[in-house]
């Protein structure tokens, strides 16, 4: 499933997506150069969405993903919580691919993978 074009993702910034048209973003993507880091937008603390406003998933230094609810911080490239109430837990990865034309796609459907 195509999410967007690489040019739609500012380098060093984050963006949320709603690929299931659920009415809220369920995936977040952080771009670092040509590398993309995709995670489910669900904090391991309470399972809730993390952006404090649309597409705002990063701290001021832009080196951590931050949950807007209680301030947990996560490494961008591993998803591991490094500070906050879910220390030792991690975000759920969402595999992404970039095609030759710069299209960004979900490599798999994480929602289906999690079904028993």
Q: Which residues are at the interface with ligand FES (CB under 6 A)? A: 43, 45-46, 48, 67, 69-70, 72, 84-85
CB of residue 69 to ligand FES, shortest distance in Å: 4
Own/partner pairs for 67-73, CB < 8 Å, 24+ apart?
67/43, 69/43, 69/45, 70/45, 72/43, 72/44, 72/45
Cβ closest to ligand FES, residue 58 vs residue 72: 72
CB of residue 64 to ligand FES, shortest distance in Å: 12
Cβ closest to ligand FES, residue 17 vs residue 57: 57
Tell me the C-alpha to C-alpha distance, in Å, between residue 91 and each of 61, 99, 102.
Answer: 20, 25, 25
């Amino acid at each position: 499933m195509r999410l967007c074009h690489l040019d739609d993702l500012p380098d060093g910034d984050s963006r949320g997506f709603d690929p299931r048209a659920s009415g809220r973003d369920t995936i977040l993507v952080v771009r670092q150069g040509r590398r993309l880091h995709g995670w489910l937008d669900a904090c391991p603390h309470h399972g809730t969405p993390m952006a404090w406003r649309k597409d705002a998933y990063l701290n001021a230094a832009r080196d951590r993903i931050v949950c807007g609810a209680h301030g947990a911080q996560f490494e961008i490239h591993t998803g591991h919580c490094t500070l906050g109430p879910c220390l030792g837990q991690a975000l759920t990865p969402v595999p992404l691919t970039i095609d030759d034309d710069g299209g960004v796609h979900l490599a798999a459907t994480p929602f289906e993978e999690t079904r028993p």
